[in-house]
């Protein structure tokens, strides 16, 4: 294409695709042949709509901004915000804007995107009805939720956008109904099996799903009704709600093209060819407003691909748009969902390989060719860790047995058959980055971190689903991967621990100001919170530390799937007096809590509402209990058998030792949870070899085992010391725990930490256990005295976290469900009775033999109560 200097290019729309096109053109048009003018009708410049829902997680509009500094320099590139293009004159080659301006063009790009589709439902335009499309929409929804009276919202649409909207309403503290016409959720992405599991997982999170029906009408309720409006479904069901969100899909915004006489597709969208050009050679269309080969794509990756194609064409190239990658990976309401390739097996003769594990809550399916040699697509629900490695293999020969490829890893690495990826496999479909491009960048530019790969290649900067694969490719390229904790710190967790310890840094702000950058994230904040707690930096809910904690630590209790919390008092060694046992029973009875004895010899009380926690703690603390730290990355339990006191086989007093160890290490914060056990003989009734720290009695003393764990990948602990006396045993455990706390990576269990000690600093193989013995017993590093002193400081400074909250009104003020109605229970929490105990309502179905009236009245707010703003 001829490109004379100073040619005028007008871009209509400053969304994600329009902005991507502008940046792609800047890269290619180095001699500035084009003078670019962009019009955006929103008052904000381009922002990340894919991450729109993070607004309800606390993300600011500024953090979603996609426009790089200097992109619009006022000379060759100009951006006009809050100014829509309202007409196109193709004959004169001009556009007219809402500000009355007329601007000429030599080339015009329509990047107008799409608009939310609102079904023709009577009453859909009433106050309290919203769409879920822009930041302004989200701010309006947020404001309406603050005014809600009955705390109930309804979402029309059970696809990707609908479930995103449902999550947003749940985060705002509303009970949520989702209405979907199809027989399953996400009907365009997942099959029947995946949809069934997705519905189960979503409903277990407190969302009521209505399938195979539709919203027939929205009406204003009578003045004496608690809810301001009523939604009537197609099956006659009437639902009183505060607000309605329409998230039933999108429609291409093609009215400009229609008014200008350009062709549009049968289902809308500006008709363009493979070069994104309309029948008018001067007019182009990209993104959700464009129709290529009869298809309109509603995902960002195809839009980015169109933008890149058009930028190449305008810079003199001949790129063409090819088949789009419509793969999707999202976390919807906390549930991982992924779909790629021919997920619904529409190809003739396609075979399906399915692994459905309802117990683990995961569903996985691969679609393969009729000869089982080629991967065609797949669906993953519940566990999508294989997505990053499987998606690039679509259309290629299977690298192994399909069933084995679906086996979950359980380590979150998102790994898979990476070595089988050919050079031209598309790793990042958002920015069309192949494995070859990434490997070349790693080797040619000496990249050592995922952040550097993202900056150099743009891979991982779109939807982010390929980020786990980037880390794997770095490792497979022979690179020693930088162990930076996150983008805000170049240091590892162990390095940060030493910086905080040596320089006596007391706050996250001080640490990030001196050794990091930015404001932190959900990776580094909890890590630093744990480090500060490990070093005895005050109560975890004091001052700035409170904002750093994970949800469980923030409320000193484990949050459950229905929004309630569990309370687990410490019962050292499993030993409990009758009086304390009775106290727990009366607490459970009086607060109507579900009660279960755990595998760690404790009693779990489940179903407590947030505002009930302090009252429950008060009863338990008064009875002599303290926090069991079941919510923290800390010592959980020291399990025990009855030992030589009672058992005829016992050779040592295992129960007394277990109690002493649990009281010694209670509350110590660590990179991951720590479990321990003491068995009184080799019969191993306490299962000590499955624990991080295991002690087994012998005729001559104690054997110490370290680095074991249960969980998804069980590991037997290794024998560190044999036949040692109690003093040596305890001293070695002291040092083991502190050394682990100081040197392990974020969320690294002792099992993988011990295994990592088998690799020396130069990559050579060493005996990890021998190394541990040299450090902990022989003091090879000269730090034994430091380790001993650290434990003594912990023991001397221990304070029960529950009791400390009860003694401080400022800390107590955090424990309310709604900040402007502290005594009002969360109306979204409901129970039924099963086997004589309360349990959360699941799937919206009653349990056989359970009366409908089993839902406690306390779970339902009084009519007209303005509950207000949730605290979590």
Q: CB 136: neighbour CB atoms within 10 A?
A: 12
129 known ligand binder:
no
Are 43 and 82 a contacting pair, CB within 8 Å?
A: yes
Largest CA distance in the chain: 101
Backbone angles phi, psi at 270, to 5 degrees: -75, 125
Of 39, 26, 31, give the one whose Cα is nearest residue 73.
26
Are 47 and 55 a contacting pair, CB within 8 Å?
A: no
Q: Going by DSSP bridges, is the β-strand pair 94-97/102-104 parallel, antiparallel, or unpaired?
A: antiparallel
SS3 772: helix
647 known ligand binder:
yes
Of 85, 84, 28, 20, give the one whose Cα is nearest residue 46.
20
Neighbour-count burial of 4, counting CB atoms closer than 10 A to its CB (0-12 exposed, 13-18 middle, 19+ buried): exposed
Q: DSSP class of residue 65?
A: B
Torsion of CA 454, 459, 465, 470, to 10 degrees: -70
Give the DSSP H/E element, type plus range, for residue 171: helix 160-171
641 known ligand binder:
yes
What is the spatial distance between Cα 40 and Cα 400, in angstroms, rounded to a whole number? 49
Q: Which DSSP string do the residues of 25-39 spell out, in sequence order?
A: HHHH-TT--EEEEEE
Q: DSSP class of residue 627?
A: B
> With the C-alpha atoms ordered 573, 578, 580, 581, is the resulting torsion angle positive or negative?
positive
Per residue, the 3-state secondary structure of 471-538, as one string, reads: HHHHHHCCCCCCCCCECCECCCHHHHHHHHHHHCCCCHHHHHHHHECCCCCCCHHHHHHHHHHHCCCC
Of 331, 850, 197, 227, give the one whose Cα is nearest residue 840.
850
Per the DSSP assignment, residues forming a β-bridge with 37 are: 10, 78
What is the spatial distance between Cα 495 and Cα 743, in angstroms, rounded to a whole number? 8
Structure tokens at 143: 């404001």
Nearby residues of 448 by Cβ (< 8 Å), 6 or more positions away: 474, 479, 480, 481, 482
What is the spatial distance between Cα 160 and Cα 294, in angstroms, rounded to a whole number? 22
Give the DSSP H/E element, type plus range, for residue 578: helix 578-590
Of 767, 763, 766, 786, give the one whose Cα is nearest residue 776.
786
SS3 385: coil
Q: Which DSSP string do the residues of 180-243 spell out, in sequence order?
A: ESSSSSSTTT--HHHHHHHHHHHHHTTEEEEES--EEEEEEPPTTSSSSEEEEETTS-EEEESE
Q: DSSP class of residue 672?
A: S
Are 46 and 67 a contacting pair, CB within 8 Å?
A: yes
Are 168 and 257 a contacting pair, CB within 8 Å?
A: no
Of 192, 184, 189, 186, give the one whose Cα is nearest residue 213.
184
> With the C-alpha atoms ordered 395, 399, 402, 407, is the resulting torsion angle positive or negative?
negative
Of 506, 543, 550, 501, give the one whose Cα is nearest residue 526.
550
Q: Residues within the annotated binding site for siroheme?
A: 685
Q: Residues within the annotated binding site?
A: 641, 647, 681, 685
Q: Residues within the annotated binding site for [4Fe-4S] cluster?
A: 641, 647, 681, 685
């Amino acid at each position: 294409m001829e490109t004379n200097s100073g040619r005028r290019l007008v871009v209509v729309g400053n969304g994600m695709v329009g902005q991507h096109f502008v940046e792609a053109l800047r890269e290619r048009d180095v001699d500035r042949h084009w003078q670019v003018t962009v019009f955006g009708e929103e008052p904000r410049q381009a922002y990340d709509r894919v991450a729109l829902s993070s607004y309800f997680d606390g993300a600011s509009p500024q953090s979603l901004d996609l426009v790089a500094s200097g992109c619009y320099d006022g000379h060759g590139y100009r951006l006009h915000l809050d100014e829509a293009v309202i007409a196109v004159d193709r004959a004169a080659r001009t556009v007219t804007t809402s500000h009355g301006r007329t601007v000429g063009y030599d080339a015009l790009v329509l990047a107008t995107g799409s608009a939310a589709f609102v079904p023709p439902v009577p009453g859909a335009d009433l106050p309290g009805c919203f769409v879920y499309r822009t930041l302004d929409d989200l701010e309006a929804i947020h404001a309406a939720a603050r005014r809600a009276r009955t705390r109930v919202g309804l979402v029309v649409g059970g696809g990707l956008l609908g479930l995103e909207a449902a999550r947003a309403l749940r985060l705002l503290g509303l009970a949520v109904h989702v209405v979907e016409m199809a027989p399953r959720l996400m009907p365009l992405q997942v099959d029947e099996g995946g949809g069934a599991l997705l519905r189960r997982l979503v409903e277990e999170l407190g969302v009521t799903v209505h399938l195979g029906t539709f919203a027939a009408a929205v009406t204003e309720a009578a003045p004496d009704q608690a809810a301001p409006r009523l939604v009537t479904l197609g099956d006659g069901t009437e639902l009183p709600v505060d607000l309605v969100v329409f998230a039933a899909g999108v429609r291409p915004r093609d009215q400009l093209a229609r008014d200008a006489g350009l062709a549009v597709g049968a289902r809308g969208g500006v008709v363009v060819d493979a070069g994104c050009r309309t029948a008018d050679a001067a007019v182009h269309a990209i993104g959700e407003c464009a129709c290529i080969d009869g298809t309109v794509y509603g995902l960002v990756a195809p839009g980015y691909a169109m933008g890149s194609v058009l930028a190449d064409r305008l810079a003199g190239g001949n790129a063409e748009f090819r088949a789009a990658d419509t793969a999707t990976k999202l976390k919807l309401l906390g549930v991982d969902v992924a779909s790629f390739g021919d997920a619904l097996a529409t190809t003739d003769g396609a075979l399906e390989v399915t692994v459905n594990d309802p117990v683990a809550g995961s569903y996985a399916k691969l679609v393969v060719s009729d000869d089982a040699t080629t991967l065609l697509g797949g669906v993953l629900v519940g566990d999508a860790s294989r997505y990053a490695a499987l998606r690039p293999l679509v259309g290629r020969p299977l690298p192994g047995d399909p069933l084995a490829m679906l086996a979950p890893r359980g380590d979150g690495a998102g790994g898979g058959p990476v070595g089988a990826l050919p050079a031209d496999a598309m790793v990042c479909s958002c920015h069309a980055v192949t494995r070859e491009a990434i490997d070349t960048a790693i080797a040619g530019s000496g990249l050592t971190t995922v952040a550097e790969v993202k900056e150099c290649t743009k891979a991982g900067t779109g939807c982010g689903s390929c980020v786990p694969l980037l880390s794997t490719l770095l490792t497979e390229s022979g690179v020693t991967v930088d162990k930076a904790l996150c983008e805000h710190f170049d240091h590892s967790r162990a390095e940060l621990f030493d910086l905080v310890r040596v320089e006596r840094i007391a706050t996250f702000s001080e640490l990030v100001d001196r050794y990091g950058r930015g404001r932190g994230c959900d990776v580094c904040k909890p890590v630093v919170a744990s480090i500060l707690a490990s070093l005895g930096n005050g109560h975890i809910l004091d001052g700035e530390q409170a904002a750093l904690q994970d949800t469980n630590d923030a409320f000193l209790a484990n949050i459950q799937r229905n929004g309630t919390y569990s309370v687990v008092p410490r019962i050292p060694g499993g030993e409990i007096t009758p009086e304390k046992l009775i106290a727990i029973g009366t607490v459970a009875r009086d607060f109507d809590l579900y009660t279960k004895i755990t595998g760690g010899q404790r009693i779990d009380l489940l179903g407590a509402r947030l505002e009930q926690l302090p009252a429950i703690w008060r009863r338990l603390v008064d009875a002599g209990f303290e926090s069991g730290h079941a919510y923290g990355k800390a010592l959980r339990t020291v399990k025990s058998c009855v030992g030589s006191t009672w058992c005829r086989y016992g050779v040592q007093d295992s129960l007394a030792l277990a109690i002493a160890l649990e009281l010694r290490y209670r509350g110590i914060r660590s990179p991951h949870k720590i479990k321990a056990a003491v068995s009184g003989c080799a019969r191993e009734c306490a299962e000590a070899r499955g624990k991080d720290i295991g002690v087994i009695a012998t005729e001559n003393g104690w054997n110490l085992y370290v680095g074991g764990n249960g969980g998804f990948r069980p590991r037997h602990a290794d024998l560190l010391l044999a036949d040692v006396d109690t003093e040596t045993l305890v001293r070695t455990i002291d040092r083991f725990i502190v050394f682990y706390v100081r040197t392990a990576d974020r969320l690294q269990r002792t099992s993988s930490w011990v295994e990592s000690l088998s690799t020396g600093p130069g990559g050579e193989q060493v005996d990890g256990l021998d190394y541990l013995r040299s450090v902990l017993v022989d003091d090879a590093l000269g730090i034994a005295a430091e380790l001993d002193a650290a434990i003594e400081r912990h023991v001397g400074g221990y304070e029960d976290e529950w009791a400390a909250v009860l003694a401080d009104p400022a800390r107590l003020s955090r424990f309310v469900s709604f900040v402007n109605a502290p005594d009002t229970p969360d109306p979204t929490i409901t129970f039924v009775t099963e086997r004589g105990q309360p349990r959360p309502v699941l799937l919206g179905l009653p349990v056989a033999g359970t009366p409908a009236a089993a839902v406690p009245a306390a779970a339902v707010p009084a009519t007209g109560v303005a509950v207000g703003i949730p605290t979590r």
